[in-house]
Chain A
Amino acid sequence: MAGATRTRPTATRPGAAPNDGRRRLLSERTPRAFYWMVAPAVVLFAVFHTLPAIRGLLYSFTDSPGYGPWEFVGLSNYVALLSDDRVRAAYLFTFQFALVATVLVNVIALGVAVLLNSRIRAKNALRGLFFVPNILAVLVIGYVFNYLFANSLPAIASALGVERLSTSILADESLAWVGVVVLAVWQAAAFNIIIYLAGLQTVPEEIYEAAAIDGARPWRRFWSITFPLIAGFFTINMVLSLKNFLQVFDHIIAITNGGPGTSTESISVLIYRGGFQGGEYGYQTANAVVFLVVIVLFSVVQLRVLQRREVSL
């Protein structure tokens, strides 16, 4: 990140070298104020973020039920995770959900953003409208979707004679996850549309005009010009979407509550339930440590793969 910031053309850029010297002088005269500015934040962050993370790591080596006495059990929590069917099911469900939702959200958001960036009327009103889902609490609008899936959709399906959907999809073990995906995509697309619109606005109009003169069709123009130029935005949206969807929680609670059975139980829901209600505090913190490693791995791999596609002007 520091490298990227440095390459940015800033106002101080031309005089960077002499400026650096002056800056050093300047801050050497009043370094104490800068330390006081960061000190409280560092202490609070350490106490409420780093310390809990370290304690979580320590508890992952214990058999603590979340209260009372506990003992160190070495790596046995981690070993047990490997053969736990419920854990494996939660990971499989979460991966499946996150991958499908990430792809759908980005394809849909990019499509809508291109549409909103084209020559349409009432552009600002439509733009504002498409952002509305992001204003709403996932949990609250999730309950509305729950009712739609459980009651309205079967009524519509049976009126149309679609047998498969005439019962609630949320009661069907193999279909319930679709409901979670629909809610997640509906809600997350709003934010990604705005990010893609911001990206599309950085593409100069002249390039399109030049391409149009060369006879490039809209589809070709999009894939050869627009998409490579906004690939940076595509990368950030893909990485952030996947990271957020891997941690899915509110959606599950509102739509399926993990059911039917435990078929839509995500990793976060499992950690919450096992850790707070199931007396598996130590065990689920071990699960959370594994989860951390998974998220970092996914993000790094994704960044590597996606950044290779990026092009700059």
Chain B
Amino acid sequence: MSAADATAQTAAARTTGTSTPGDDTGPDLPGRPLSRRRSHRSTSGASWRLTALAVVLSLTVLVPLYFTVVTALKTPDQLGGTGFALPTEVRWQNFADAWTLTNFPRAALNSALVTVGAVALTLLTNSMVAYAIARNMHRRLFKGLFYYFVAALFVPFPIIMLPVVKQTAALGLDNRAGLVLLYVVYGLAFNIFIFTAYIRSIPEELEEAAITDGAGTWTVFWRIIFPLLAPMNATVGILTCLWAWNDFLLPLVMISDPALATLPLVQYVFQGQFSTNYPVAFASYLMAMAPLLVVYVFAQRWVISGVTRGAVK
């Protein structure tokens, strides 16, 4: 898979020209000149037929969301039939019921703490490791480390799942801190891969100038390199956030204390109680999805360009 990433990356670099961090001033970078040119034309010749087709296809995304919302607002006796009808009588109480039944604030706080912790620590540490590796790839030790980390991309989680659960429990890490730690450590494989590619496109002259001025390696990293990594930090941050917030398997196997359950885990734990009352269940699902959806509505362009950058790099 590493070779595939590299292929995509070279394919992109070849045609767009390498984007050094310096000219990465706005979103949409890889295709900006193209899309500007294209949008210029599209205002005159936009195809209504294709637009209509895209809108119809987007219904596949919207319909399940619509279904979630209307079901969450119904009373249980309105359920029958296809379930797509609008509620005849709105029951807001479903949300209050779900809120108290699943202890939503507690689960949301757990998810938020784990996600924020994982994103912050991942950005601070993974970029640093990648920097040390990228600038020392000519040394056998660092080159070896690069392959050591990246090889983990091939290792499926089930093979380490059983031992790692015993190990974290023995170390008293079967909690939120343990989750954060594992997200940060397991993220290394992929993050080192994309950070390294990006760091190697940063001209070393910058660092040399700073070192001539008497700056140490740490200062160079935190003052010069880390700020230049901002676009890649956005990409890694977004992907880590989506992973940590939505992950189910790792909390499922690691967390045994119900008070520490994250939002997806709570939905699983409460299946038994939900099955008697679907509207409350759907209200709970909706509340579990809502925080990230709301963030996404406001940060949509930034998220998309961040993910795109990760693909091209």
Contact = CB atoms under 8 A, between A and B. Distances in A.
Contact of B296 (A20, A123, A132, A312): A132
B95 interface: no
B185 A49 contact: yes
Interface string A1-17: 11111011111100000
Interface string B109-131: 00000000000000001101101
Interface string A272-313: 100110000100110011011001100100010011001011
Interface stretch (A78-86, A146-154, A166-174): A146-154
Interface in B267-307: 267-268, 271, 278, 281-282, 285, 288-289, 292-293, 296, 300-301, 303-304, 307
Given A5-B197, A130-B61, A288-B156, A27 B50 contact: no
Contact of B132 (A5, A34, A236): A34
Contacts of B288: 137, 140
A190 B193 CA distance: 23
Contacts of B197: 5
Classify chain B's interface size: 35 or more
A247 B158 contact: yes
A59 B188 CA distance: 26
A284 B132 CA distance: 38
- Pick the most buried of A135, A138, A307, A313: most chain B CB atoms within 10 A of its CB: A135
Interface in A112-135: 112, 115-116, 118-124, 126-135
Contacts of B245: 137
B238 to A, nearest CB: 10
Nearest to A307: B7
Given A10-B200, A33-B218, A26 B16 contact: no
A127 B51 CA distance: 12
A59 B164 CA distance: 12
Contacts of B228: none
A312 B292 contact: no
B136 interface: yes
B281 to A, nearest CB: 7
Interface string A37-54: 110111011011101110
A155 B81 contact: yes
Contacts of A307: 3-4, 7
A137 B242 CA distance: 8
A11 B61 contact: no
B301 A236 contact: no
Range for the number of chain A residues in contact with chain B: 35 or more
A213 to B, nearest CB: 16
A2 B15 contact: no
Contact of A202 (B12, B62, B185): B12
Contact of A30 (B14, B146, B163, B216): B216
Nearest to A242: B1
Interface stretch (A68-76, A98-106, A191-199): A191-199
B140 interface: no
B158 A118 contact: no
29 contacts: A5-B6, A41-B129, A44-B184, A45-B148, A49-B160, A49-B186, A52-B160, A52-B164, A56-B159, A112-B57, A121-B46, A124-B301, A128-B301, A129-B61, A136-B246, A140-B263, A141-B68, A148-B67, A198-B311, A202-B12, A203-B15, A232-B10, A249-B248, A272-B249, A288-B161, A295-B154, A295-B156, A296-B154, A313-B15
Interface of A: 1-5, 7-12, 19-20, 22-24, 26-27, 29-30, 33-35, 37-38, 40-42, 44-45, 47-49, 51-53, 55-56, 59, 66, 112, 115-116, 118-124, 126-141, 143-145, 147-148, 151-152, 155-156, 159, 186, 190-191, 194-195, 197-199, 201-205, 229-233, 235-236, 239-240, 243, 246-247, 249-250, 253, 267-268, 271-272, 275-276, 281, 284-285, 288-289, 291-292, 295-296, 299, 303, 306-307, 310, 312-313
